[in-house]
Amino acid sequence: MSRETWTAFDAYIEDRLVGRDAGLEAALADSAAAGLAPIAVSPAYGKLLHILALSIGAKRIVEVGTLGGYSTIWLARALPAGGKLTTLEIDPPTAKVARANIDRAGVGGKVEIIVGPALQSLQKLEGPFDLAFIDANKNQNPEYFTECLARMRSGGLIIVDNVVRDGRVLNAASEDPDIKGVRRLFDLMGHEPQVTVTAIQTVGVKGYDGLAIARVN
Question: Tens digit of pLDDT for each residue in 120-155?
Answer: 999 999 999 999 999 999 999 999 999 999 999 999
CATH superfamily for domain 3-216? Vaccinia Virus protein VP39 (3.40.50.150)
Where are the domains positioned within the chain?
3-216
Q: So what's the pLDDT on residue 40?
A: 97
pLDDT tens digits, one per residue of 65-119: 999 999 999 999 999 999 999 999 999 999 999 999 999 999 999 999 999 999 9
With beta carbons less than 8 A apart as the criterion, state whether 132 and 159 touch: yes
pLDDT category of residue 2 using cuts at 50, 70 and 90:
confident
Gap between the Cα atoms of 38 and 105, Å rounded? 19
Percent of residues, the chain, with pLDDT higher than 70: 100
Q: So what's the pLDDT on residue 1?
A: 74
Q: In the predicted model, is pLDDT for residue 43 greater than 90?
A: yes
Q: So what's the pLDDT on residue 115?
A: 98
CA distances (Å), 140 to each of 113, 177, 178, in order? Answer: 20, 9, 8
With beta carbons less than 8 A apart as the criterion, state whether 61 and 133 touch: yes
| Stretch (H or E) spanning 173 | none
Percent of residues, the chain, with pLDDT higher than 90: 99
Gap between the Cα atoms of 154 and 172, Å rounded? 33
Give the distance, in angstroms, between the CA of residue 176 and the centroid of all CA atoms in the same chain. Answer: 21
